[in-house]
Amino acid sequence: MSTLIPMAGDLAAWRGRARFAQLAVLGGEVRQVLYREGGYLVLRAEPPLPRLGESWPALYWAELEAERWYGLAFSAQEGQGRDLLDSNPQLFAFPYGPVRETQSEAIFHRIVSGGERIAAVELRPFLKRRGVERRLGEIPLAWLPRVAERLAALSSVADSLAVARAAEAATGAVPPPRAELWRVVFAELERLYNHLDYFARQAATATLRVGEAQAATLKEGVQRLAEQLSASRFLRGLVAVGGLVAEPPLPSGSWLAELDALQRRAAAYLDRLLATELFVDRLERSGAVSRQGALDFCLVGPSARASGLGQDLRVDPGYGAYPELGLGVPIHEEGDALARCRVRAEELRISFDLIQRAVSALRRVGGPVHNPPGPLPPGSEALGYAEGPRGETLAYLRCDASGQPHWALRPASQLLWPAFAQGMRMSSSQMDYIINQVSFHPLQAAWDR
Amino acid sequence: MPSWTWQGLRAGRQTTRYPKRPPEPAELGMSWPSLGAAEFSAELAASCPTAAISASSQGELRIDYGRCIGCGICARHRPEEIAMLRRCDVASTARAGLIAPELLGPAPGPLARFRGSLHLLHFDAGSDGGEESELQQLVSPAYDLHRLGIFFTPSPRHADVLLVTGSPTAALSPGLLEVYAAMPAPKWVVAYGTDAVSGGLWSERGVDAYLPVDLYVPGSPPSPLALLRSLLLWLGKEVVDT
Ligand code: SF4
């Protein structure tokens, strides 16, 4: 279970020694969450806070959000960002979005350019803000995963797990081992169809239409397997606080055979894709994030692992059934779009294997799948986390003295979008813009919340 | 360099036979609570996170499929009476046609005798991305929407139908109205997904609080086949359901 180590002290002093993870404003109280090998640290901060975002880029948007949506007060401003357009008369800006081709989510960016090259990409988030955190604070415990899994459809499992795990830590309702095995099956199925969705879109950015169609067909195959277990193509309705809502049907022989067939087809597909020069050439050196850049932006998930950072919550600190099942963490050093692609290609194979192993463990491990939680104790605080397809989802829960819960979510996409925008600065052509947007594979609904 | 064309041909047909043959069970998609013999109770109504459960004027149980997200909580309250059933036929041209048990499927719309191709413009007004993922599957080989003469266009000038996802947020509703205004008449609006139909978990406002909606396709998200089927029925085309 998540260990919260309350620390005193100054966030800035932790730079270089811990990864910034979350700035949570919970009914007037402020928590700064850091990750250091082995677990999370929590700092209690008193507003006004010093503004650190311009020297520590990962904090920039977190501070802006806390200020804009939760009225958090900051002391001195750091130096104002210069407006590129004012200082450089050759540049012009044009909007991108919110209506886009290819049936994608609404996003809105301002692209500053001097012609072929992009000078900057300015993000305009929160168009899709629905107030997910506020909603979580209004509802009974049993509904939490049903709302959390609608933060963003493609990370339904990861997000509902993070929220459920926070509530489990607060109530002490430890999920039974069988539930943890099932959770691995769901989370890895989710990773499969997300990575396949990524390959479909990335192939499309290289105008590989057949490559796009084949990945979309594989994704459909995985979503249908998911649907057979859960009656939901997005694996919704399964996770409960304390385990699972109900025992799903144990995968049949034909289900496993189909999984096997998909695994073989996916492997052959990836061999073809990564042997296609057109594809590899477009991705190589595009949108490169150095190891230091990944640290500055506190990148997570496949994007961090593509820049040489070996972080994966499934392994460190390890949670649920992952430590007993065991898994490797693929790491690449180049930090470019190709490295992010290769990391996902290797993760696909690992996820197929994990599902196979979790299913065979389910034949040995019996018992219930739910440990009913009690009410949230007033005054309790807990952090829930899960390694989703894009990296870490965090859910911070604070139940105040009157018993009112407050939630703060930190989806992976909150860290991915700014790193993408930074990667586009000064060096990229407009073609790289689309390639890299797909390459980080961020979700706008998750960031907007 | 591997030959993608050859690989594509070798894969053979991967597209659903629908609407010429009935849908495969795997294509149906979302599960909905069946009412059966269940009776209304205030406690049952309170169990639903989207307030989809109510009583008719005679006190009979009603479930508004325009609000339901298929979470299954009501079915666990009444396991003997309410079952969750996979179905792809929940859609209507009238908002009132989504109140179970008196569901009205999509009636043929004004384009029923239309022979040309239909162009849809997708607008995300605040979705969770699920509908977008399903729209992308809809144009992939598994469903291949294009074979039925239905296409997506990114330009309002070329669009017949505005397909809206999500409950319109404060920031996106002005854009929604602008895009609609930019479309040439005659034009129609489809609300795709529970959030677009009714606001779902997030608000009381669906797309019809902003624009006249011609076709409601609820679901969280609705399966690709559910949208395909409702569009075809609305276009007055034949579908084989069983
Ligand atoms: S399935 Fe869920 S949303 Fe639908 S009526 Fe039942 S409780 Fe309400």
Question: In whole angstroms, what is the distance from residue A368 CA to residue A340 CA?
Answer: 39
CA-nearest residue of chain B to A124? B171
Closest CA to A225 of A191, A264, A251: A251
Domain ranges of chain B: 29-88, 110-234
Ligand 1 centroid from CA B30, angstroms: 12
Between residues A154 and B27, the one the model is more confident about: A154
Domain ranges of chain A: 4-70, 84-124, 132-442
For the cut 90, the answer to whether the pLDDT of residue A373 exceeds it is yes
Closest CA to A406 of A134, A150, A148, A66: A134
Mean pLDDT, residues A74-78? 68
pLDDT recorded at residue A6: 62
Q: A272 and B4 in contact (C-beta within 8 Å)?
A: yes
Q: What is the pLDDT of residues A334-356, one digit of tens each?
A: 999 999 999 999 999 999 999 99
Residue B172 with chain A: CB contacts under 8 Å = 98, 106, 127-128
For the cut 60, the answer to whether the pLDDT of residue B74 exceeds it is yes
Judge: A220–B137 Cβ closer than 8 Å, yes or no.
Answer: yes
Question: In whole angstroms, what is the distance from residue B147 CA to residue B152 CA?
Answer: 12
pLDDT recorded at residue A7: 62
Q: What is the pLDDT of residues A309-331, one digit of tens each?
A: 989 999 989 999 999 998 989 99
Mean pLDDT, residues A390-396? 95
DSSP character string of A126-188: -TT---HHHHHHHS-GGGHHHHHTTS-GGGHHHHHHHHHHHHHHHHT-PPPHHHHHHHHHHHH
Task: Give chain B's mean pLDDT.
Answer: 89
Q: A304 and A21 in contact (C-beta within 8 Å)?
A: no
pLDDT recorded at residue A391: 95
Between residues A27 and A175, the one the model is more confident about: A175
Cα A266 to chain centroid, rounded:
23
- Edge-first strand order for the sheet with A109-113 is A92-96, A109-113, A117-123, A428-429
Going by alpha carbons, the residue nearest to atom 2 of ligand 1 is B71
Judge: B129–A445 Cβ closer than 8 Å, yes or no.
Answer: yes
Q: A109 and A124 in contact (C-beta within 8 Å)?
A: yes
Q: What is the pLDDT of residues A95-114, one digit of tens each?
A: 888 877 778 888 888 888 87
Q: pTM of this prediction?
A: 0.92
CATH tag for B110-234 (out of 3.40.640.10, 3.30.420.340, 3.40.50.12280, 3.40.50.720):
3.40.50.12280
Q: What are the distances in angstroms from CA B103 to CA B66, B215, B218?
A: 11, 14, 12
**Token pair of B194 as six digits:** 């529970």
pLDDT recorded at residue A99: 79
Q: What is the pLDDT of residues B123-137, one digit of tens each?
A: 999 999 999 999 999
For the cut 60, the answer to whether the pLDDT of residue A81 exceeds it is no
CA-nearest residue of chain B to A214? B8
Between residues A167 and A21, the one the model is more confident about: A167
Mean pLDDT, residues A249-253? 89
Task: Give chain A's mean pLDDT.
Answer: 89
State whether the Cα torsion B57-B61-B64-B67 is positive or negative: positive
Residue A22 CB neighbour total at 10 angstroms:
23
Q: What is the pLDDT of residues A397-421, one digit of tens each?
A: 999 999 999 999 999 999 998 888 8
Q: What is the pLDDT of residues B28-66, one digit of tens each?
A: 889 999 987 888 899 999 999 999 999 988 988 999 999
Judge: B134–A233 Cβ closer than 8 Å, yes or no.
Answer: yes
pLDDT recorded at residue A2: 45
Ligand 1 centroid from CA B77, angstroms: 10
For the cut 70, the answer to whether the pLDDT of residue A427 exceeds it is no
**What CATH number belongs to A132-442?**
1.10.645.10
Question: In whole angstroms, what is the distance from residue B91 CA to residue A30 CA?
Answer: 45
Mean pLDDT, residues B137-157? 89
pLDDT band at A434 (very low <50, low <70, confident <90, very high): confident
Q: A420 and A287 in contact (C-beta within 8 Å)?
A: yes
pLDDT recorded at residue B96: 92
pLDDT recorded at residue A287: 84
Q: Which of A30-34, A282-286, A404-408, B156-160 has the highest mean pLDDT?
A: A404-408
Going by alpha carbons, the residue nearest to atom 8 of ligand 1 is B48
Mean pLDDT, residues B80-106? 89
Ligand 1 binding residues, C-beta < 6 A: B 33, 47-50, 52-53, 63, 68-74
Distance from CA of B122 to the nearest CA of A (A): 6
Distance from CA of A248 to the nearest CA of B (A): 14
For the cut 70, the answer to whether the pLDDT of residue A5 exceeds it is no
pLDDT recorded at residue A85: 58
Mean pLDDT, residues A120-128? 85
Residue B182 CB neighbour total at 10 angstroms:
15
Mean pLDDT, residues A372-376? 93
For the cut 80, the answer to whether the pLDDT of residue B1 exceeds it is no
Judge: B2–A275 Cβ closer than 8 Å, yes or no.
Answer: yes
Share of chain A above pLDDT 70, in %: 94
| N-term to C-term CA, chain B | 45
Q: A433 and A121 in contact (C-beta within 8 Å)?
A: yes
CATH number 3.60.40.10 is the correct assignment for the domain at B29-88: no
Judge: A197–B133 Cβ closer than 8 Å, yes or no.
Answer: yes
pLDDT band at A1 (very low <50, low <70, confident <90, very high): very low
pLDDT recorded at residue A286: 85
For the cut 70, the answer to whether the pLDDT of residue A261 exceeds it is yes
Closest CA to A391 of A284, A291, A306: A306
Distance from CA of A138 to the nearest CA of B (A): 11
